[in-house]
Amino acid sequence: MYKNTLKRIVSMVWEHKFSFSLSQICALLYTIANLVIPLYTGRAIDFVISEGNVDFPSLFRMLIIIALLALLSFVSSYLMARLNNRISYLVSRKMRDLSFSKISRLPLSYLDSHQSGDTLSRIVSDVDNLSDGLILGFSQLFTGVMTIVGTLILLFNLSFMLALVVLLVTPLSFFVASFISSRTNRMYRVMAEDRARQTECIDEMVRMDDEIKVYAGKRNAEEIFDRINEDYAASSFKATFFSSITNPSTRFVNSVVYALTALTGALLAISGRISVGLMTSALSYANQYTKPFNEITGVIAEFQNAIVSASRVFSLIDEKEEDRAGECDIESSSGEVAFDRVSFSYDKSQKLIENFSFKALSGKHVAIVGPTGAGKTTIINLLMRFYDADKGRILLDERDITTISRQSVRKLFGMVLQDTYIRNATVRENILMGRDFSDEEVRRAARLSHADSFIERLPDGYDTILSDESSALSQGERQLLSIARIMLSLPPILILDEATSSIDTRTEILIQNSFSRLMEGRTTFSVAHRLSTIENADTILVMKDGAVIEMGSHKELLARKGFYYDLYKSQFA
């Protein structure tokens, strides 16, 4: 998995090969400039021959060359940082784009079985970690490797003995680097998982703040967060600890190399085998040689964190998408729907709907009632192809809906749910939901749903900005906006899932009248707990434990004095 993740990251980086190549050229120039400066510094020192005997023309020439090399180092370092940041942020942007677009193509089963906080953590925190790791990798890894190789070459040219001393201590640096990096990968993975759990917890607590306060659950919420936070603190401490020992460990190696080089160089200088300037250059190179090991071990620790984070993002991007499962597209429908011996369950070890058969004729109103968990909403999920049946068929105009693309099926349905959703957009855009209708059609839909009465009272009317967390609208007003959406599109099949549950009795009567006009000639499925709203339905399906136990009109079911009769009496006793 590590190699595959790394290969995919490299592939994304290579999409910006021009910027990447230019960055590496800048890194090469930066490294060469830094490597050559000590060489000219040593030569400059050698021009100071003795007291009163200084070759000033040659010394000034060396100082000018050193200044130009320092300028080259600065400019190339600046350009390299700009290019690396650009590549890193472009890769991060692409990964976020891929992740976000992936969410819209994931099956509902994935979203139902994964915490939203974990998904949020992958798109936000994990991509940030990848970006930081890439910036460090580009900035330090390549330059570090070139510095090590270049330093050894120059050292061998200056003094074979000094180069040999530096080279003999190299295995100690590799041992320190491998010791640290081998332990950080697993710790960073645990830390990433704990961070995702923490994000999930915070997301849930913020969304459920009202419920927590109402049920005095503050102390319990704090205890849950404290446990998760302690786990994250522990895993973060371990990962950070092993990362932080990089500097002191490699600094120890630096000191050993520098001390051995200085001692050997001093002995060689005393014996006259090397000059003082050459010894100065060699000491600079010894220091430069060990410094990249310090940087590289730090980069490796950070880069492993980035790889772990990238693997979590790629696992989201690689999730199996909701397939079209039917290449046929249809533009219209008469609204005739039939269930033919349909069986389905979310958890295959627990039965829910078994051998369900029913036919809804075009233009008829079918109501679905029953206790919680009976399978009412599951019927709607199957109709909308949020899930596909395990067995049996669902027919739309006598055609199996699995032969029709999901998008095409869903365009035939208009849906009003009990839970409302408000976009961070204007009232007009909240009614349009990305569709192409005129302002007059939007206002007409608002009038039909009786939403225009409160829209006109808003500060900017239809241009008022709303959000899902906004308290500007009551729950009932939010539901009226949802109803306005369906009034706008006029689909051949309607699904009303407790569509008027949050609306007062007076407004509900007005809405029911609007629905009556809207439902003329359209097949309608109503999920209801308030039985007064479905008394005029053509057929009422009474469900219990995933099966239809009674079926008929309101009067017929009351006359049988069965389960529906008991439900009705419990509401109107």
CATH number reported for the structural domain that contains residue 108 in this entry: 1.20.1560.10
**C-alpha torsion sign, points 149, 151, 153, 155:** negative
Structural domains counted in the chain:
2
Residues 276 and 379 in one domain: no
pLDDT of residue 287: 73
pLDDT of residue 49: 59
Asked, for residue 148, whether it belongs to a domain, the answer is yes
Residues 353 and 284 in one domain: no
Residues 313 and 356 in one domain: no
Residues 298 and 383 in one domain: no
Residues 307 and 356 in one domain: no
Sequence-ordered alpha helix ranges (H) in 322-405:
376-383
Last residue of a domain, one of 288, 317, 346: 317
Six-digit token string for 414: 């208009």
pLDDT of residue 53: 66
Q: How far apart are CA 425 and CA 510, in angstroms?
A: 27
pLDDT of residue 75: 93
Contact criterion met (CB below 8 Å) for 44 and 90: no
Torsion of CA 560, 564, 568, 569, to 10 degrees: 60
**C-alpha torsion sign, points 311, 316, 319, 325:** negative
Residues 276 and 359 in one domain: no
Last residue of a domain, one of 289, 317, 345: 317
CA angle 154, 294, 146 (to 5 degrees): 35
Asked, for residue 541, whether it belongs to a domain, the answer is yes
Residues 211 and 125 in one domain: yes
Averaged pLDDT, groups of 10, the chain, 573 residues long: 78 86 88 83 71 72 88 91 87 89 82 78 84 74 80 79 76 68 72 83 82 84 90 86 72 75 78 74 74 69 78 86 68 83 83 83 86 80 85 87 82 80 85 86 86 86 79 76 82 80 67 72 82 81 82 87 83 65
Last residue of a domain, one of 286, 317, 348: 317
Asked, for residue 285, whether it belongs to a domain, the answer is yes
Who contacts 49 (Cβ-Cβ below 8 Å, separation ≥6)?
55
Contact criterion met (CB below 8 Å) for 461 and 499: no
In degrees and rounded to multiples of 5, residue 503 shows phi and psi of: -110, 140
Domain that holds residue 63: 2-317
In degrees and rounded to multiples of 5, residue 509 shows phi and psi of: -65, -45
250 exposed, middle or buried (CB, 10 Å; 0-12, 13-18, 19+)? buried
Residues 442 and 495 in one domain: yes
